[in-house]
Chains A and B, each alone.
Chain A
Amino acid sequence: MTTQALAGSRGAAWLRTGGRAWQIVTGHRAILIGGALVLAVALVALGADFIAPYDPLRNDFRARLQPPGAAHWFGTDHFGRDILSRVIFGGRLSLEIGLMVVVMTGIFGTLIGGLAGYFRALDNPIMRLMDALMAFPAILLAITVSATLGASMTNVIIALSVATTPHTARIVRASVLVVREMQYVEAARALGASDLRILVRHVLANSLAPLIVRLTFVFATAILAEAVLSYIGVGPPPPAPSFGNIIANGRDFMVEAPWVTIFPGLAIVACVLGLNLLGDGLRDALDPRIKVGP
């Protein structure tokens, strides 16, 4: 009886939290639109096997460079491959790369920024190294890493993670510096909590908002950067389609067959716009000082 009542109240508490989250989502139009776009792209990428009308790798030389039509909604490329299918599967690869970059950047950015912000002795050595990395233009750094390690999906992920981690670490460090001075951190210390526990449970847990916002932008940047790397030939190797690969393939036929480049380009726009809107919205929603009306 009591456990049931307890479970009920725990459920009610969850509902309350969920309700508030839903209010934030519906209250900020940017989150709603951005979130819907991102969700749509993600669902298409996830269900690529069921949605795509053709095999994205299958050549059909009788249907080379077909303009968009009933058989091929987005047209075909110079191998007769269906652009719609390639964009759908390309979305999967691009999102996969973006997500992996977000995960890697999230892990290393949090680790590096957290250590630098919390242990003051580490701050200078770590952050000066990050500054040095930041001094390179991110895309140049990614090209260098990718060109050195060779063109593969893993290397693209590594390259982009290296390029986006310093900025993320700096953001995490900045909020750690604020949070570590909070009274609840001192209270936790007064209860004998260890440094590790304080750092993870109290400091980092309260530094997440700016990190989440930053990571949505990292996601968008990664998708764009992957396209750039693929375009100049240091991205994930063909024939596997990614947004950048498809555009790179269509480069030589841009005048005769613009659909080969336009549709993956639009797909990139949809992804990046969705992620940026989502990030902007989250920033407004999570920052109590900026109150933007619904």
Chain B
Amino acid sequence: MNRAARLLLFLAVCCGLLLPGTALAAEAPRSLPFNKQNVYNFFRQVEDGKRQLPENIPLDELQNRQCLLYASILKQGGYDFEATVQNAVQFADRGNGKLDDPRFMFLAGVFNVHPDVYLRLKLISKATRDSVAGYFGQ
């Protein structure tokens, strides 16, 4: 094997080692699969988490912690907060069936806090914030 061939082999090994890691790191964030049971379970966990929060802290701080709680509970389940919000906004009912739509229930529960707060906490992007505002403001 000449020197050039050895180097090409080395290059191929490098590709084999690095590419799977790259693919994993770039894997698309997952949304919570929307059905009523998943949303019920999500809010149950949120309520459990809220009860653990101290109440003798400033309102802003409490609100921040609640927002982070929504995101961290999704994260514990392997889901991404922003991807879940985007999914919900994109496919949520815009007609009269809202109260029977798990996506709407999710958005209504989570965005009792203004989306600007989630944006400030970097839990959602500006584009997602605008989508949420557009959905509720329509």
Q: Tell whether A and B belong to one assembly.
A: no
B-side residues, CB < 8 A to A, are none
A-side residues, CB < 8 A to B, are none
